[in-house]
Amino acid sequence: MGSDSRRILVAAVVSVAILLGWQLLFPPPKPAPQPGKPPAEAAAPSAAAPAAPSPGAPAAAAPAAPLPAAPEELAVLETPDFRATFTTHGGALRSFVLKGSKFLHEVAGKTVPGDLVSAAPGSPWPLSVAAGPELGGAAKAEEDPSARASMRITARDAKSLTFEGTVGTSRIVKTFALTGRPFELSLRLQISGDRAGAVQLLSTGFLSPDAPKPGFFSGGAFHDYVRPICRAGDKTERFTSDKAEEKVPGTVDWSGLEQFYFVQTVIPERPVGACTFLRGPAAGALATALKLPVDRTLDSRFTLFIGPKELDLLKAYDRHLDQTIDYGPITRYFAFFAQILMRLMRWFQAYVVNWGVAIVLLTITVKAVLLPLTLKSMQSMNEMRKLQPEIEKLREKYRDDKEQLNLAVMKMYQEHKVNPLGGCLPLLLQMPVFFSLWAALQNSVELYREPFLWIHDLSLHDPIYVLPLVMGGSMFLMQKLSPQPADSTQAKMLLYIMPVFFTFIMFQLPAGLALYSVVNNLLSIGQQQFLMRRMGPPQPAGAGGKS
């Protein structure tokens, strides 16, 4: 491989290393489900009077008579997938526990079910409704007392639950029902009053300011996070700023909150309203508010999906809900290919049951598909090796004239019909596949709590770091067995620095990704040795390339 070709290859490898390092230094934090929530208030606060109107504004109607404060009453809707607990404090969601061993996690040494609901002390629970100022509510939705006011249960059975109460100046009826689909509920929201205005349907969450923050030396452990998210217009927006409030332009397809592997979404029957991201008065309180116009009455229906970010489940809604899977600033450009590879891995898993074995089969399949590119790359590298002695002679001859050296080398390439980029371009063409696999494995809830050999969870790092060390060793061996560039600096970088660097970053990454890297390296070594034996040792080129 010539000097130009080597520089391109080294630049490509270093670029990949920088990109992956950046993704690790500034990653989206990886959470476990929120294990608990603050204790409920002893009694729901009574609804406060609406704020005084500004001078010149029309006088607000008197609020509807609120229900008297009452002790909290809970009601449950349950399916084989989840147990949803609702509270009369705001007629809202108090708890949403995912069933099954897959969604258990460790808290203080105990295995407990994962609960996707959390709220800051004094904040509204998820799916509560706040009145706008025109309807007698507070200026800030998350501080509106009516969102936490007592409601009464007027109907309930095994499949549905109805709350009635007041929100600002209006009466409100909220009916939750099971739909029979995985991780799904329906919500019918009915509001009636004598004024026009707006209400806001809240998706609230809480992350303690004392929660551990992800860092470069975090060892790949999960870190809780809650992030408002909204699909409005033709974009999916996430709340990543430090602002107290941020409006999202466009009519809303869906809104909610996300964690790394899980999402809570409110999906209107048809696009409607506007989204606002909010920070609550309590530290760590966050919310997405879906603003709905009310022309004296409102009768709207919503689908609620609260569960894991499984690609097939999200795709089934045909509302771009699959964009709740955040592939990161680099790998999101390969999301389409990542989804294809994920479907292929799911197909393998359906037959072999174990996700670790499915990753191995996926890696073998990708390696087989890329075999023609690999063969072409090896052939090009072999041709470059044949010319290497002649190139060294030219370097000696034109050691003080780089321009003449470059001209002589290019002339030699032309005479021997060798493309100096032939050995690198096939490698560069494999980059989208690598990033797609990276994205698929890094963001797949399917790997969550899935075991393989000594690894109890493929979505976490290898607990005894065997895979990262084997990956580093196999990478070193692969570089050692490859033809070494003449430039000693480049040789040392490829042979020593890159394996150490990739081993270090693999300590931080899911074991599923490390497993892919190990299998890929071992297959590459075998493939490389087979092709090199098949081609035989390169014979030096004739003297026709001399100048």
468-525 pLDDT, tens per residue? 999 888 888 877 776 555 445 555 666 677 788 888 888 878 888 889 889 988 888 8
Cβ-contact 60, 50 below 8 angstroms: yes
CA distances from 189 to 226, 254, 284, 431, 531 (A): 25, 16, 28, 49, 66
Mean pLDDT of the chain: 78
Question: Could you tell me the end-to-end alpha-carbon distance of the chain, in angstroms, rounded to an integer?
Answer: 20
Better pLDDT: 259 or 176 = 176
pLDDT of residue 17: 53
Mean pLDDT within 399-404: 75
Q: Are 178 and 157 in contact (CB under 8 A)?
A: no
Place of tokens 């229900």: 67
Q: Which of the four pLDDT bands, split at 50, 70 and 90, describes residue 282?
A: confident
CA angle 472-475-479, nearest 5°? Answer: 140
Give the range among 384-398, 421-435, 482-496, 517-531 with minimum mean pLDDT: 482-496
Cα gap 9→15, rounded to integer Å: 10
Q: With left for phi above 0 and alpha for psi between -120 and 50, is residue 320 left, alpha or beta?
A: left
Q: Residue 435 has what pLDDT?
A: 78
Mean pLDDT value of segment 373-402: 74
Q: For residue 272, is pLDDT > 80?
A: yes
Of 340 and 66, the one with more pLDDT: 340
pLDDT at 192 (0 to 100)? 93
Give the C-alpha separation, 310 to 312, whole Å. 6
- Average pLDDT value for residue range 322-337: 79
Q: Given this model, what pLDDT does residue 228 score?
A: 94
- pLDDT at 489 (0 to 100): 57
pLDDT at 36: 42
Evaluate if residue 166 carries a pLDDT over 80.
yes
**498, two tokens:** 């890159």
Rounded to two decimals, what is the model's pTM? 0.77
- Tell me what percent of the chain is helix, strand and coil, each rounded to the nearest 5: 40, 25, 35
Q: Which two tokens stand for residue 154?
A: 């007027």
User: Mean pLDDT throughout 328-353?
Assistant: 84
Residues 6+ apart with CB under 8 A from 472: 499, 500, 502, 503, 506
Distance in angstroms (rounded) separating the CA atoms of residues 264 and 419: 53
Q: Are 147 and 163 in contact (CB under 8 A)?
A: no
Closest CA to 172 of 144, 209, 208: 144
Separation of alpha carbons 300 and 127, rounded Å = 14
Give per-residue pLDDT as tens, 51-77.
334 334 344 444 444 555 678 899 999
Q: Which of 157-161, 231-235, 384-388 shows the lowest per-residue confidence on average (mean pLDDT)?
A: 384-388
- Under the banding of pLDDT at 50, 70 and 90, the label for residue 11 is very low
pLDDT at 220: 39
Helix axes 371-397, 511-535, angle to 10 degrees: 60
Backbone angles phi, psi at 72, to 5 degrees: -65, 135
- DSSP assignment of 314-383 equals HHTT-SSGGGGS--HHHHGGGHHHHHHHHHHHHHHHHHH--HHHHHHHHHHHHHHHTHHHHHHHHHHHHH
Is residue 279 within 8 A of residue 162, CB to CB? The reply is no
What 3 state SS string does 515-539 have?
HHHHHHHHHHHHHHHHHHHHHCCCC
Higher pLDDT, 30 or 340: 340
CA-based R_g, the chain, Å? 30
Percent of the chain with pLDDT over 90: 33
| 476 in Cβ contact with 502 (< 8 Å) | no
CA angle 401, 404, 407 (to 5 degrees): 150
Above 70 in pLDDT, residue 544?
Answer: no
Q: Which pLDDT belongs to residue 389?
A: 75
Assess contact for 220 and 461: CB atoms under 8 A: yes
Q: Note the maximum CA span of the chain.
A: 100
pLDDT of residue 62: 45
The residues with which 153 forms a beta bridge, in sequence order, are: 163
Sign of the Cα torsion 281, 285, 290, 296 reads negative
For tokens 């197909």, what's the residue? 347
Instruction: Tell me the mean pLDDT in the region 520-544.
Output: 70
77-126 pLDDT, tens digit each: 999 999 999 999 999 999 999 998 888 877 777 788 888 998 888 889 99
Range with the poorest average pLDDT among 35-44, 173-182, 187-196, 511-520: 35-44
pLDDT of residue 257: 94
**Which residues, listed in sequence order, are joined to residue 148 by a DSSP beta bridge?**
none
Tokens 């670029």, residue located: 15
6-20, 281-295, 370-384: segment of lowest average pLDDT: 6-20
Nearest of 381, 514, 366 to residue 433 by alpha carbon: 366
For the chain, what percent of residues have pLDDT higher than 70?
75
